[in-house]
Chain A
Amino acid sequence: MSLPLPLVAAVAVLGLLGVGLLGLLVTRNLIKAVVAMQVLVKGALLALVLAGRLSGQVQTGQTMALTVIVADTIVSVVALALAVQVRRQFGTLDLQALSTLRR
């Protein structure tokens, strides 16, 4: 049995988006939320490359995916630095405990 590659890639995109969304909804840890967001972005990256391939413009898809990689890395770095500071200031990474924003 051999499925066409775009169909397999579409399954990967939808699976990654679903897993990332599930992770964002169930996690209570700030760093785990960043991990779930990374999974979501991987789905978006694959979707861009797949769209480029389907429309016959692979290089444009690659260029847009590159921009997303850069933006995603910066977002992760800033979020992790925030998490480190939050842990130092409040002593926890639990989103429920942090939602009051009281020390």
Chain B
Amino acid sequence: MFDLLIVAAMLVCAFQAVRAPRLLIAALWLAGASALTALMMYRLGAPEVAVIELSVGAGLVTVLFVFAINIAGEEPPVTLRSLVPAPLAWVAALCAVGLGVAMALPNLRAESALVQSERFATVLWERRSLDVLLQVVLIGGGVLAVLGLLAEGRADARKELK
């Protein structure tokens, strides 16, 4: 029952995040959905990644969103027509979910016995060290990309030189 409540609240938060007209409100609903996702991960027996999701997904990303919305400025919430007509979008999303139900639910077999007894750190650092390498490369690339994108001063200086 508790799990069903978590899932219902998570879906409400996610839906509100998508349809909230103001960007700041959408970011806050997204943080709520993220925190409830972390709670669901904990219930599924994945506490390590739940903590990371809570701190990164609900914390860092929300701060980044608020920061970006502050810099970019909130656009007045006008009721523009969406690119894809809303009924068509609903049909497409419902078809995708229906396809997911048809494919996933029959294969949702009973849980198999625990075949992995190592600790999280052992699996991460010894079994999946390539993932760690990829994460380091991603973080480095991300930092460089953001520095390049936000380097307005140098771009302006170059323009003036021309």
Contacts and interface: CB of A to CB of B under 8 A. Distances in A.
Contacts of A61: 46
B108 A6 contact: yes
A9 B134 CA distance: 28
Contacts of A84: 68, 71-72, 149-150
Interface in B1-33: 1, 3-4, 6-7, 10-11, 14-15, 17-19, 23, 26-27, 30, 33
Contact of B97 (A18, A31, A65): A18
B121 to A, nearest CB: 9
Contact of A18 (B4, B64, B94, B141): B94
A26 B80 CA distance: 10
Interface of B: 1, 3-4, 6-7, 10-11, 14-15, 17-19, 23, 26-27, 30, 33-34, 37, 40-41, 43-46, 48-49, 52-53, 56-57, 60-61, 64-65, 67-69, 71-73, 75, 80, 82-84, 86, 88-90, 92-94, 96-97, 100-101, 104-105, 108-109, 111-116, 118-120, 122-124, 127-128, 131, 134-135, 138-139, 141-142, 145-146, 149-150, 152
Given A12-B11, A60-B116, A76-B64, 17 more contacts: A6-B108, A8-B7, A14-B97, A14-B101, A15-B14, A25-B84, A25-B88, A28-B82, A35-B17, A54-B109, A54-B112, A58-B45, A66-B52, A69-B53, A77-B146, A80-B67, A96-B80
